[in-house]
Structure 1
Amino acid sequence: MLFKHDATHYGVAIKDGSYSVKLVTEYAFENIHRLNPQLNAVNYIYQDQALARAKRLDKHLATLSSAERRKLSPFFGVPILLKDLGQLWKGSVSSQSSKLFLGKKSTTTDDFIRIASEAGMIFVGRSNTSEFGLKTVSDSLYFGSVRNPHNLAYNPGGSSGGAAASTKSGMVPLAAASDAGGSIRVPASDCGLIGLKPSHGRIAASPQVLRRINGLSGNFFIARSVRDIFNGIQVFQAMPNPSRNTLPIIQEDELKAIDRPLKIAYTTDHPRGQGNSSDAIQAIEMTVQALRNLGHEVEAIALPVDYNELMDYYYMILTVEIGKNILRIKESGQQIQAEDIDPLAWLCYQTGPHIPAFAYSDFVLYQDELIAQMDRFYEQYDVLLTPTTSAVAQRNDALAYSQSLVDRINRASSLPPQTLWELAHEAFDHVYQRTSYCPLMNITGQPAISLPLYENADGLPLGSQFAAKRGQELLLIQLAKQLERHGYLKANCIEL
Structure 2
Amino acid sequence: MPADATALAAAIGSGRISARQAMERSLAAANDNAHLGAVCSIDDAAGLDAADRFDRLPADLRSIMPFGGVPTLAKDLGGPFQGLPVTAGSKALDGADRAADSDLAARFRDAGFCLFGLTTSPEFGLSLASEPQKGPLCRNPLSESLSPGGSSGGAAAAVAAGIVSIAHATDAGGSIRVPAACCGLVGLKPSRGAMPAGPGYGNYLGGIATELAVCRSVRDAKAAFAALSGNPRGPFAEPVPFVPAEKSLRIGLLTDSGDIACDPARLVVLEEAARALEGDGHRLVSLSWRDIERLANESAAVFADIAAINLAEFAVTAGFDVSRTEMMTQAVIARGAAMTGAEAWGIVNRLAFIARDFWRVFENIDCLIAPMLTSAPKPLGSFPTDHDDVELHFARMQAFAPLAALANASGFPAITVPFGADADGLPLPIQVFAPMGGEELLLALAARLEAEGRWQHPFQIAGADA
One fold, TM greater than 0.5? yes
| CA drift at 1:469 | 0.3
Q: Which residue in 1 is equivalent to 2:271?
A: 285
Whether the aligned pair in 1 keeps the contact of 2:190 and 2:413 (CA below 8 Å) is: yes
TM-aligned CA deviation for residue 268 of structure 1: 4.0
> 1:286: how far off?
2.7
Q: Is 1:263 the counterpart of 2:250 in the alignment?
A: yes
Cα 1:98/1:282, change in 2 over 3 Å: same
1:492 aligns with 2:457: yes
How many Å separate the matches in 1 of 2:207 and 2:347? 12
2:360 paired with 1:376: yes
Q: Which residue of 2 aligns with 1:295?
A: 281
Q: Does 1:344 align with 2:339?
A: no
CA deviation vs aligned residue, 1:366-425 (integer Å, no higher than 9, x gap): 222221222222221110111111111100044436x8xx3xx3xxxxxxxxxxxxx422
1-side partners of 2:153 and 2:347: how far apart?
A: 29
AA aligned opposite 1:321 = N
Distance of aligned partners of 1:119 and 1:227 in 2 relative to their CA distance in 1, 3 Å threshold: same
Counterpart in the other structure of 1:158:
150
Q: CA RMSD in A?
A: 2.3
Match of 1:312 in 2: 301
Matched, 1:31 2:13: no
1:454 counterpart = 2:420:
yes
Displacement after TM superposition at 1:23 (Å):
0.6
Q: Is 1:463 matched up with 2:429?
A: yes
What secondary structure, in the 3-state scheme, does the structure 1 residue paired with 2:368 have?
strand
Aligned mates of 2:263, 2:104 — CA distance in 1: 37
State the alpha-carbon separation in 2 of the partners of residues 236 and 458 from structure 1: 36
Q: Secondary structure at the match of 1:232?
A: helix
Change beyond 3 A, Cα 1:364–1:352: closer
The CA deviation at 1:240 is: 6.5
State the Cα deviation string for residues 401-456 of structure 1 (Å, max 9, x = none): 6x8xx3xx3xxxxxxxxxxxxx4222321333211211111111110000100321
Between the aligned partners of 1:49 and 1:309, the Cα distance in structure 2 is 44
* 2:59 counterpart of 1:64: yes
Provide, for residues 55-110 of structure 1, a one-character-per-residue CA deviation record: whole Å limited to 9, x for no partner.
121111xx335xx653x111011000100112112343101011111210233210
- Aligned to 1:195, the other structure's residue is in SS state strand
Equivalent in 340, 347, 356 of residue 363 of structure 1: 347
Output the amino acid matched with 1:377.
Answer: V
Q: Give 1:210 shift.
A: 5.5
Aligned residue in 2 for 1:53: 50
1:167 equivalent among 132, 145, 159: 159
1:43 aligns with 2:8: no
Q: Report the count of equivalent residues.
A: 456
Cα distance, 1:242 vs structure 2:
7.3
> Per the alignment, in what secondary structure is the counterpart of residue 214 of structure 1?
helix
Q: Per-residue deviation at 1:249?
A: 7.2
Name the amino acid aligned to 2:275: Q
Any residues of structure 2 matched to 1:58-457 within 5 Å, and which? Answer: 58-60=55-57, 63-64=58-59, 69-70=62-63, 72-206=64-198, 208=200, 211-239=203-231, 241=233, 244-248=236-240, 260-270=247-257, 273-303=259-289, 304-305=291-292, 306=294, 307-329=296-318, 332=319, 334-337=320-323, 340-400=324-384, 406=387, 409=388, 423-457=389-423
Secondary structure, counterpart of 1:140 in structure 2: coil
Give the TM-score taking structure 2 as reference length.
Answer: 0.92
The question of 1:14 aligning with 2:12 is answered yes
CA contact (8 A) 1:185 1:449 kept: yes
Deviation at 1:459, TM superposition (A): 1.3
* Cα offset, 1:493, TM superposition: 4.1
Larger radius of gyration: 1
Please tell me the residue identity of whatever aligns with 1:167. V
1:477 aligns with 2:463: no
The one-character-per-residue Cα deviations of 1:240-277 (angstroms, maximum 9, x if unpaired) are 747642234799xxxxxxx9432111214337x23212
**Amino acid of the residue matched to residue 121 of structure 1?**
F
Structure 1 counterpart of 2:311, one-letter code: I
The equivalent of 1:415 in structure 2 is none
Contact 2:138/2:153 (8 A) holds in 1: yes
Gaps of 5+ in 1: 252-258, 410-422
Residue 282 of structure 1 and its aligned partner are, at CA, apart by 2.6
Map Cα deviations across residues 292-326 of structure 1 (whole Å, 9 max, x no partner): 33332222212433033332222111111123323
1:144 partner SS:
coil
Q: 1:399 to 1:363 in 2, by over 3 A?
A: closer
The answer to whether the Cα contact below 8 Å between 1:268 and 1:387 also exists between their aligned partners in 2 is: no
Q: What's the TM-score once normalised by structure 1's chain length?
A: 0.86
- Check conservation: 1:467, 1:476, Cα contact below 8 A: yes
User: What are the Cα deviations for residues 116-165 of structure 1, in whole angstroms up to 9, with x where unaligned?
Assistant: 11222100110001110111111111113211111000000010001111
Contact in 1 for aligned 2:127/2:383 (Cα 8 Å): no
